[in-house]
Every structure is written in structure tokens, then in C-alpha cells.
Amino acid sequence: MIHKNGPLDFNVNAYTSSSVSTSINFWTQDRQTARLVFHLTKDGVPLPLAAVTGKLVLVMADGSRFIRDVTIIDRVEGQAEYILSDQEIKHYGDVQAELNLYYANDQSLSVHQFSFNISKSLIDQDIVPITEYYVDEFEALRAKINELYDESIKTIADLRAKFEDLEKIETKEGAQSKVDAALKAANKYTDAHLENKKIHVTESEKSNWNNGQLYRLTPNDGKVARIPNGTDIFTLPTGPYMGAQLLNAPVENDTSFYYVNVLETAYEQNEVVYKCIIATRSFDNITWIGTFHAQGFKGWDRVLSEKDLNSTWNQVTLVTGTTKHFAGNPLKFSIRQNSLHLRGSFEGVPANDAVIARFAQKPSGETVFVGATVGSYGSARLTLAKDGSLKFDGLNANDNSKVTRIEINESIPLW
């Protein structure tokens, strides 16, 4: 599908200006093609968008106001988009906008205010738009009101039918005559049944029924049960479950929805019941497996997926003022099988001990590695700290003054 993209790079902090005037310009004939693309970062790395709802506020030049949900493209890389609707694109003039994020744990933040322009196409010169107001939550409320109205109409119809039944209630004498007839027919059937010597149900069959499986894995409708927020996964008996803000989830303090399958055994050792727990995070399909053994819980192990084995390369966000990418081979990173891979180069020589980049992926221990110098033969020393910061330690070349850039090709374990 063709789109006319308006890219917006926002760094979430408290120092940006109150509003950014962009050079983005759409036309009133850009129906279903005018797209705003947001790239969100924080502290030099992509802003994770797990358990987040994005809202875009649009205030048009004629006073029209729209509050819409944005679409999250990549929750890990902090990317979102919004395509202007046919109603919005016809409101030409300067548009004031604001992007807000709302988290599942009731936190929220205003990412940025910005403005862009919608120009009137020649074919629309005689069209004057009407002032409009649209809020996604209001439309959802209106749909719920309509649903309640339909339910009320059905309830009234049911009550009407019941009152019609009351009008047909028989007299005491009429009801008694029907009871007498039913009793006579029942006695006749019982007498015939007693005379029939054929065995209808054996004791073995009755025993099988009485000893049948009585433990229910799901509610009566057969669907997976939603457990309350704050439920401890480790206390769940055998069965499938779904819930959010769960205790002892694979990721600490994660408020996301998880699907949890518990297999509890009848075997116990050292007062520990052996069990297997499989937990899958809903929004990104990542799955973990954990077991209880004689020593207790053995920890969560993440299951590698096709996505982990086919990771992509992304350009490293360098700390402003320290160095810059070499255009012919910029510094990029990729995460594969719990390892951070770096390749590419940056121009200039940073100051010693300068932090040139920060990664959300953090190693369990400080990692020191070297890169090759270009301009004069030698090497540069770099350190990836446990907090994810990449630091330039210094260089050692035949002539340090002639070094123009530094090449890196390194794989760093994160476990």
C-alpha cells in the first residue's frame, strides 16, 4: 500500500521544547495515504512500548478536534504510526498535535507536541469542511449504550412472554386431574420395569461413573479462566490460565498479559511438589518454561523462536557530541541468541572514558574489546558496562593524530 510518510523522531525527556514546528505538508486529496511515523527513544536507546496505548490529539485550524488511537508497529524498537482519516485530511490549514502514551500500570506521559500543515488541493477549492469532534473512547461508549438498549428490549420481551404464561395457569381441580393421570402412568411403567429381568446397568459401569475424573480444568463454557491481577503463578494448580500483573512472572515487574499452563504432579520430595509451568507473554509471543524440582523452583528458561534466529540489524544511536557514524559503514547492532553483535564504524576519536552509546540490552558482566583504527595502524579499546553503556577507553596506534575512524566487529554475550 502506498503512503506519504511524515517521519517524526522524538526523544522522551524533560528538556525538549514545548512544541516542534515540522516541515510536514499533506494535501486534502491525500486520502488513506497521509501517514505520521513516530520513532521514540529515551536516553539514546529505543523506548519500549510494552503494555502501552498511544493517543494522538489533533486540533485542526478550523477548531475541529480528534483524539485517536495510534498503531504500535514495533513495541521493542519504539515505533508507532497514524494514518489520517478521510474526515481529518479535509480540514486544511495548520494542525496542532500531541502524542501521549498510557501504560497498563496507570502511568502516562506526553511524548511531544508538534505541528504540521494540510494544504487545500485545487479540486477541493469550493469545499468548506464542517467543524467536527471525535474521541475513540466516546465512540466505544456509544456502542456500549446501544448494546445495553438491545439487551433491555430483549428483557422486556421475555417478561411479556412470562406474563402470558401466568394467564394460562390452570385451576386447582384441573391441575390435580393431570397429576393423577401422570401418577397412574408412572405406576404402570414401574410395574412393567420390575417384571423385566433384563439387566440395564452393571455394577462395574456404575463404579466407572462414580470414579470418573472430577477435577475441572476450565469453567463451564470451556474457555481459559482469567485470574485476578497480582495472582502468584507458583500457587496455581494444574490447568490453563490468563492474567496480568502476575507475581513470579518470567520478567520481573512485567504488567503484561500472560497465558500460563501448569502441570502439577502427584510426586513430592523435600516438601516440594514437582510441577512444570509454561508462560507465554501475549503481546509478543515470547515463551518461558520453569520447573519445580527437589530443590525448589529451577528458574525460567526462555524458548528461542524463529524471530530470535533471524534478527535484524539496527543503527546504533550515538550519544550526541561524542562521535558520528561513518556514512559508508555506520555502526549497527543485532540481538541473536542472547548475544549483542556490533559491526560498522564511527568517525573521529572521542575523548577517553566518554560514553558513546547506551543499549537496553545489558551483559551480566563488564566486557572489554578492541576495534581497528583507520588512518594509522593500531587498535582502540572499548568497554560495554553492566548498565548497557558503551565507553571509549582510548587508542594505541602508530600515530594517534592520524586516526580518522574506528572499525568494530564484535559479538558480546549477554548471559
* Per-residue pLDDT at 8: 92
For residue 159, pLDDT over 80 is answered with no
Tell me the mean pLDDT in the region 8-12.
89
| pLDDT tens digits for range 52-94 | 889 999 999 999 999 999 999 999 999 999 999 999 999 999 9
For residue 140, pLDDT over 60 is answered with no
Dist CA 329 CA 349 (whole Å): 16
Dist CA 398 CA 379 (whole Å): 10
Given a contact cutoff of 8 angstroms between Cβ atoms, the answer to whether 92 and 70 are in contact is no
For residue 332, pLDDT over 70 is answered with yes
| pLDDT tens digits for range 172-192 | 666 677 777 777 777 776 666
Dmax (CA) for the chain in angstroms is 118
Tell me the mean pLDDT in the region 361-367.
91
Tell me the mean pLDDT in the region 236-253.
93
Query: Which band of pLDDT confidence, cut at 50, 70 and 90, is reported for residue 131?
Result: confident
* Per-residue pLDDT at 164: 66
Tell me the mean pLDDT in the region 403-410.
96
Domain boundaries, the chain: 4-138, 225-303, 314-413
Given a contact cutoff of 8 angstroms between Cβ atoms, the answer to whether 400 and 350 are in contact is no
Query: Which band of pLDDT confidence, cut at 50, 70 and 90, is reported for residue 168?
Result: low
What percentage of the chain exceeds 90 in pLDDT? 56
Least confident interval from 148-152, 299-303, 341-345: 148-152
Query: Which band of pLDDT confidence, cut at 50, 70 and 90, is reported for residue 106?
Result: confident
| pLDDT tens digits for range 266-303 | 898 998 999 999 999 998 889 999 999 988 999 999 88
For residue 210, pLDDT over 80 is answered with no
**How many beta carbons lie within 10 A of that of residue 404, not counting itself?**
13
For residue 244, pLDDT over 90 is answered with yes
* Per-residue pLDDT at 281: 94
Buried b (16+ CB within 10 A) or exposed e, 89-123: bbbbeebbbbbbbeebeeeeeebbbbebbbeebee
For residue 334, pLDDT over 90 is answered with yes
For residue 38, pLDDT over 90 is answered with yes
DSSP 34-59: EEEEEEEEETTEE---TTEEEEEEEE
Does this chain's domain 4-138 share its CATH topology with 314-413? yes
* Per-residue pLDDT at 149: 62
Query: Which band of pLDDT confidence, cut at 50, 70 and 90, is reported for residue 1?
Result: confident
Least confident interval from 69-83, 100-114, 207-221, 243-257: 207-221
Is CATH 3.30.365.10 correct for 4-138?
Answer: no
Query: Which band of pLDDT confidence, cut at 50, 70 and 90, is reported for residue 199?
Result: low
> Phi and psi (nearest 5°) for 355?
-85, 115
Tell me the mean pLDDT in the region 32-39.
95
* Per-residue pLDDT at 116: 95
For residue 381, pLDDT over 60 is answered with yes
- Strand, coil or helix: 146: helix
Dist CA 378 CA 411 (whole Å): 20
Q: Which amino acid is at 13?
A: N
Look at domain 314-413 and name its CATH class: mainly beta
Tell me the mean pLDDT in the region 6-14.
88
Nearest to 318 by CA among 210, 188, 408, 252: 408
Dist CA 99 CA 292 (whole Å): 45
CA dihedral 307, 308, 314, 320 (to 10 degrees): 130
Q: What is the chain's mean pLDDT, rounded?
A: 86
Tell me the mean pLDDT in the region 347-367.
93
- Strand, coil or helix: 22: strand
Nearest to 288 by CA among 256, 312, 314: 256
The residue that leads in pLDDT, 324 or 1, is: 324
Q: What is the DSSP letter of 122?
A: G
Least confident interval from 152-156, 232-236, 298-302, 348-352: 152-156
Angle CA(94)–CA(97)–CA(102) in degrees, nearest 5?
A: 170
For residue 141, pLDDT over 60 is answered with no
Dist CA 4 CA 89 (whole Å): 13
Query: Which band of pLDDT confidence, cut at 50, 70 and 90, is reported for residue 404?
Result: very high
* Per-residue pLDDT at 134: 77
Residue with cell 502468584: 232
For residue 136, pLDDT over 90 is answered with no
CA dihedral 401, 406, 410, 412 (to 10 degrees): 70
Among left, alpha and beta (phi > 0; psi -120 to 50; other), residue 111 is: alpha
Given a contact cutoff of 8 angstroms between Cβ atoms, the answer to whether 310 and 335 are in contact is no
pTM value surpassing 0.75? no
